[in-house]
Structure 1
Amino acid sequence: MNFINVNDNKVTEFLRNNLDLILFQFIMFTKLMLYAKQISPDYLYTKVSQPVIASILILTSFAVLLKKDNRINFLYIIDIIISFVLIADILYYKYFKDITTLAALRNIKLLGGVSSSVSSLLNLKDLLYLIDVIILIPYVKVYKKNNISIKVSLVKKLSAFIIMFLIGISINVKSVYALSKEQPTLLTSMSNRIYLTKMIGNINFHAVDTFNYINTNIKNSKKLPAERENEIKNFLSENNKNTGTVLRGAAEGKNLIVIQVEALQQFVINKKVNGEEITPNLNKWINRSLYFDNYFYQVAGGNTSDAEFMTNNSLYPAESGAAYSSYSNNYYNSLPKVLKDNGYYTAALHGNNEGFWNRNVMYQAQGFDNFYGQHSFNIDEEIGLGLSDKSFLNQSLEKLKSFKEPYYAFLVTLTSHHPYNDVEKYGDFNAAEYENSLLGNYLKSIHYTDEQLGMFLDNLEKEGILQNSIVVIYGDHFAIPREQINELYNFEKIDNASDLTWFQYQKVPMIIHFPEDENKGINHTYSGQMDLYPTLANLYNLPKSYMFGKDILNCNGDKVLFRNGSFTDGNVFYISWTNTYYDIKTGKVIEETEELKKKKEDFSKELQYSDETLNQNLIKSFKEDRKLTLK
């Protein structure tokens, strides 16, 4: 009996003296697994639970080295930090369907302009991560006050630290090794951050991200080996070869007007609500234009700015963060720069703050002669984030009339920006059963923008500008965030949606209008924003150099590659975050073949080529080498 009592006392004493460590591990595990479920409700958590436990063990191991009061403070602070990181990651995931990174934090100042969009995604469920932080405040004080700190020798502390640390590291090494065998480049390229997070857990993901961020900055300070530069140069040379002559030079000498429409998603085209067309004007102009109905947005952390970046440069978005912020000092062989070299006046027009997304710097870096931002317009009517599309397009028309021909005008609209909450200013479109929902508000906002685009195009025609101009219109990114995708599925009457379903709805309209409605029709090629510059280069008979996209009109095959590593060839869709292949026609999951595996590896390498091109400012090096060769 005494033996039992002695053991009971020891257990009680152990629990009392280590309650803070036990409670911390339990709370962290619960939060991290809740987070895993939020980013992937259908995921099996047996794989991620081991690295999650391992990462918690590693954190806890450092705590055992500290004195009791300091240990409690350390664990409490770590709890607070991880809680805020998880909330930030959840919000970022809801908006961008990605995980936040250190590089993305460089753009945190830009969140002020979209604070209403971000805050609209926050709900009470997300604040569950902070409940324990608040509840534990009085208990931490009481525990520290009443707990008798037992002195533990340094040897025992070090022993406990080493055991816990080594167990944690061993489990992590095993998980990371298994992942590296499955997808060899994923840990370094981080091209599929969601899948990576699901496989190794949130804490380990951020540890890998931190390591890669520091390592990348160190590597970028050094010049790439000559053989790697030549490898990238040869890839681009092969990729930029002309493959056909369809409409070659058809736009030569004509003005180019490109309109990037905020959150214009394809599902609204030719759709009606309560008998009324959502986008009657775009529907009309699609019938008068060359329409690309399998055109995908390919944006990443830079969102709207990424769409601009790809359209004007045919370079993939930055690996993390936004290229507009991270690479504003680079040299670009951009569309405005090349047109400028061919005698064009080039201008960018947008009704938002000039410094937002670093546009005032990046437009100059890309070769625009002028940027007409917020201060170049009379802010006489505001809707949503700023100047209304009606006022912006009317004032832009007056500016276009004053431009010296030929010119390239790049316009970016604003009113139809998430969360579409200025409903009383959008007009009287009846969203019927979708009233007072995010989808219903979006339908109202995009109907308003469609009306303004219709008037703008009609006025271009009345002024005779269309007679000597090519007009391109496309959407920049999604309208309905993944968090509210069921509203879209209900609207489309879709049951049993899969990841393939989600991706198939990430198309945006893209039309190219020619004078006299020439070349109208539908192009079904699977393509994306990376491909617009090469296509325009063909139409304007411009040199094709340093482009990762393809000329849609003369390509050898369908290909769309996304920043997260997903891709499609028009027949198969690879979803990177679940490492799954779908047959597009049947919608069924198919097994990986050697051919598909090679495509996945080649496309991962292509993303790395683009990253290195940006990181090392290689276009400048390539141009300088070319000049020396010509001499």
Structure 2
Amino acid sequence: MSQAWHKIRRGLNTRFGFFLFAVILFCIKSYMAYQTKFSLGVKGSMQELILAISPIATALLLFGIGLYFRGKWAYCWMILVDAILSSWLFANILYYREFSDFITFNLIKGSGATSDNLGKSLMGIMRGTDFLVFVDVIFLILLLAIRFIKIDTTPFKIRYAVATTILSVGVFGVNLGMAYSNRSGLLTRTFDNNYIVKYLGLQTYTAYDAIKTYQNSEQKSKASNNQLKPVQKFLKDNHISSNIQYKGVAKGKNVFVIHLESLQQFVIDKKWDGQEITPNLNKLYHENDTLSFDNFFNQVGQGKTSDAEMMLENSLFGLAEGSAMVMDGTTNTFQSMPAILDQNGYSTASFHGDVPSFWNRDNAYKSFGYQYFFSKEYYDIKPGYVSGYGMKDKLFLKDTVKYVEQLPQPFYAKLITVSNHYPYLISKKDASIKEWDTGDPTVDPYVQTAHYLDQSIGELMNYLKKSGLEKNSMLVLYGDHYGISNNHKAAIAKILNLKQIDNYNLAMFQKVPFMIHMPGLKGGINHTYGGEIDVMPTLMNLMGINDPGAIQFGQDLLSKDRNQIVSFRDGDFVSPKYTKYGNDLYFTKTGQQITDKTETEKKEVDKIQDYVNKELSLSDSVINGDLLRFSKQSWFKTVDKSDYNYKKSAALKELSEAQNKKPTSLLKENKGKSTEDLYKTDAPELKGESSSSSSSDDSGSSSSSSSSSK
């Protein structure tokens, strides 16, 4: 035993021995992190083996560069590489924990657009065990510092260093071959980053992402009109007629698009601690003049909220990596709903109580054709008014009406709430329902912020009724994406009263609310399967706007001819018959897993998968190639971004001039008398102010839902 120990120590005291030791520690650490920190869906001994060897090639290559150096510089290089790779692994662990995905270069490039309050989010995500990824780095430094391992100054033969580099290439070849034998088309037919990390490792995924990012940049510079033809053919082949019964029923109406941040469908009609979580939304959901959709899914990728906005207003998917609004929102040509409505006589505005640069909105909205963007600078924000990612919803919506009433009618107004945003921060004075008791500190406050969001919607609805705006408006309410990520399975199971969570449950958990409310609308709960990509064509039909030949990947949710295929950003899908999620296949109606497909089932599933792959790849080609610059439509005039100025002084002057030119605003109709005093809120920040005092009769269901829990 003693002799073996001495041999090991002698080996460690050689440069090559230290190199092997560092590689082994790094690979063991990586494998353990892959198994415990990510949900990669590893199944079977073959995938376990592939996962174990996936870090080896990168470690041999990058650590092996140190073998070309002399003396202490070789050791410094290896430790530096280990520290950098460990930091990258650490960053991905934190990001993955909340977003179930890996960091991309597009995401890094756009990180400045989403960095507000990121520090608070990270502190909520971190766990003590995450720092174990640095243990091998610290261990190696300590061994050198106490001279347990001595620096080998003997020259290392170059041919051995070259042989190590060649070996790393060979190991990668073996890794790639094994990966492709288990999943063909890994790098050419996948929309899911989890697969690449599972089969090739995090470092290879990063290199792959860098190459793909560069290729996408090149794709735009080399794009031509011919690349639009396969897109047009696909849309023509899959074209369906919109629902004639609903065509134009909202013509000339104002349109409110109310963004329900991170709200998921499961909270609708759900109670906790004897209270309805969303009493106001529940009431709206069941009203006769509300079209409610109970099989409506979020389809976002890494862009989260920005992806939802991209789909809602363009019927284009977000990108597989990063945010399309951040990466392409400034430079691309779009045929967006705000621009189309502007050209059809609508005023268009978006409202958001945070900085205008968040998700690059200040630039992307100009490309979308928004006339006005009322961001943080337009609001009188006092201490205590902000929580998390912007102005508290009750305060934000109340202060928004002073601008809404100035918009010439008809108008299109998008109101973006933020209080139900991760990390679900809420003060005691704003909380009027008890936390969940799942034991997951990330999940438990979600019910409180969701309840607060619902109360703010109740207050807004009361104002719309009192001001008269409701009778002349169509309200569109949607949840933009999940609030509780798939990495909180135990908490999800407890909330849903399930013994365990499988991929079918997680797929159904991606449902978000979608409601269209308008007095006189023939409503009801619609069971069609759809998603955010379908919103634009649905609304355009309701408003009676004709857009023949438009590049839109969605279908009218009210059409009886819909294919009802819901494509997820990673290539999974939901259809009325089949659900594919996390590489597992199920019958949608029953949730029964399909392990052995019949020949008929295989053909049906393959046909759906082919449609999903084409839809996603063609949508990507439109954005990556900026192909809409080649699309010329008689009914649409290309947006000139220089026409828009979102600076407060300039925009308010323009709004004033617009009211005089077209005196149809609510303020003009009321002969200059504001309706702000009709807005009643129980926001504690405003208590004592006359404008906020309200009785239970004034605040209706919002106030009753609040007081019942106090």
User: Which of 80, 100, 110 does residue 83 from structure 2 map onto?
Assistant: 80
Write the distance in 2 (CA, Å) between the matches of 1:122 and 1:619.
42
Are 2:21 and 1:16 aligned? Answer: no
Question: 1:156 and 1:616, CA in 2 relative to 1: closer, same or farther beyond 3 A?
Answer: closer
* TM-aligned CA distance change 1:428 to 1:435, over 3 Å: farther
Find the counterpart in structure 2 of residue 103 from structure 1: 106
Q: Is the 8 A contact 1:239 1:550 kept in 2?
A: no
Q: Is the 8 A contact 1:246 1:553 kept in 2?
A: no
Q: Aligned partners of 1:616, 1:624: CA distance in 2, in Å?
A: 18
* One-letter identity of the residue aligned with 2:545: L
Change (3 A) 1:327 1:436: closer
The residue aligned with 1:152 is 156
Q: Determine the structure 2 residue equivalent to 1:570.
A: 576
Q: Distance in 2 between matches of 1:178 and 1:546?
A: 37
Contact residue 239 and residue 547 of structure 1 kept, 8 A:
no
- Which amino acid letter does the alignment assign opposite residue 202 of structure 2? N
Question: Match of 2:362?
Answer: 360
Q: Secondary structure at the match of 1:209?
A: helix
**1:345 offset after TM fit, Å?**
0.5
* Residue 342 of structure 1 pairs with residue 344 of structure 2: yes
Contact 1:274 1:431 in 2 (8 A): no
For 1:577-616, list aligned pairs within 5 A: 577=582, 579-590=583-594, 591=596, 593-616=602-625
**What displacement does 1:437 show?**
4.1
Amino acid at match of 1:230: K
Q: Structure 1's 159 and 442: CA in aligned 2 closer, same or farther, altered over 3 A?
A: closer
1:121-146 CA distance string (max 9 Å, x none): 11111111122323433323445983
Whole-angstrom CA distance in 1 between matches of 2:541 and 2:5? 82
What do residues 161-207 of structure 1 show as CA deviations (whole Å, max 9, x unaligned)?
43x2343233134135436xx443x4146511112211222122112
Write out aligned runs for 1:37-52 (5 A). 37=35, 38-40=37-39, 43-44=42-43, 45-52=48-55
| Partner deviation per Cα, 1:404-454 (whole Å, 9 max, x = no partner) | 111100110011111123231423323474699443311111111111100
- After TM superposition, the score normalised by the length of structure 1 is 0.92
The verdict on how the C-alpha distance between 1:9 and 1:467 changes in structure 2, with shifts beyond 3 A counting, is closer
Task: Please report the TM-score for the alignment, with normalisation by the length of structure 2.
Answer: 0.82
1:182-201 aligned within 5 A: 182-184=183-185, 186-188=186-188, 190-201=190-201
Q: How does 1:351-500 map to 2 (within 5 A)?
A: 351-380=353-382, 381-431=385-435, 433=437, 437-500=441-504
Q: C-alpha displacement at 1:330, in angstroms?
A: 0.8
Q: Distance in 1 between matches of 2:239 and 2:121?
A: 39
Q: C-alpha distance in 1, partners of 2:543/2:633?
A: 25
Distance 1:344 1:225 in 2: 31
Q: Which amino acid aligns with 1:236?
A: L
- The one-letter amino acid of 1:572's match is Y
Provide closer, same or farther for how the CA distance between residues 46 and 152 of structure 1 changes in structure 2, counting only shifts above 3 A.
closer
**Residue of structure 1 equivalent to 2:527:** 524
Q: Which residue of 2 aligns with 1:205?
A: 205
Amino acid at match of 1:372: F
**Identity rate of aligned residues, in percent?**
30
**Cα drift, residue 160 of structure 1:** 4.1
Taking the aligned partners of 1:379 and 1:327, their CA distance within structure 2 comes to: 31
In 1, distance between residues paired with 2:5 and 2:31?
32
- Inter-CA distance 538–125: structure 2 relative to 1 (3 Å threshold): same
| TM-aligned CA distance change 1:620 to 1:397, over 3 Å | same
Structure 1: distance between partners of 2:250 and 2:237: 25
CA contact (8 A) 2:538 2:558 kept: yes
Alignment-mate amino acid for residue 201 of structure 1: G
Pick closer, same or farther for the CA change 1:145–1:129 going to 2, 3 Å. closer
1:461 touches 1:467 (CA, 8 Å); kept in 2? yes
Larger proportion of helix: 1
Q: 1:265 to 1:143 in 2, by over 3 A?
A: same
Residues 572, 581 of structure 1: 8 Å contact kept: yes
**Structure 1 residues 51 and 402: CA distance shift in structure 2, 3 A:** same
Please give the per-residue CA displacement for 1:341-396, whole angstroms capped at 9, x wherever unaligned.
11000000111111111111111110111000011111142233331111111122
CA distance in 1, matches of 2:219, 2:431: 53
State the secondary structure of the residue aligned to 2:350.
strand
Q: Is the 8 A contact 2:338 2:348 kept in 1?
A: yes
What is the rounded CA distance, in whole Å, between the counterparts of 1:264 and 1:125 in structure 2? 30
CA distance in 2, matches of 1:414, 1:437: 19
- Count of residues in Structure 1 that have an aligned counterpart in Structure 2: 615
On the 8 A contact 2:530/2:565 being kept in 1, the answer is yes
| 1:505-539: CA deviation from partner (whole Å, max 9, x where unpaired) | 111111100124x3121001111111111100111
Aligned position for 2:631: 622
Letter in 2 for 1:53: I
Is 1:416–1:445's contact at 8 Å kept on the other side of the alignment? yes
**Residues 11 and 130 of structure 1: CA distance in aligned 2, closer, same or farther (over 3 Å):** closer
CA distance in 1, matches of 2:148, 2:214: 38
3-state SS, counterpart of residue 112 of structure 1: coil
Check if 1:26 corresponds to 2:24: yes
Deviation at 1:624, TM superposition (A): 7.0
Shift of 1:215: 2.6
The equivalent residue for 2:265 is 266
1:82–1:321 CA distance, 2 compared to 1 (3 A): same
SS in 2 for 1:136: helix
Q: State the one-letter code of the partner of 2:476.
A: V
2:255 counterpart of 1:256: yes
Deviation at 1:294, TM superposition (A): 0.8
After superposing the two structures, state which structure 1 stretch, 473-482 or 359-368, moved more: 473-482
1:333 aligns with 2:353: no
Q: Counterpart amino acid of 2:556?
A: D
Q: Structure 1 144/103 Cα, relative in aligned 2: closer, same or farther at 3 Å?
A: farther
- Are the counterparts in 2 of residues 291 and 511 from structure 1 also a CA contact under 8 Å? yes
What corresponds to 2:691 in structure 1?
none
Q: Flag structure 1 segments of 5+ consecutive residues without an equivalent.
A: none
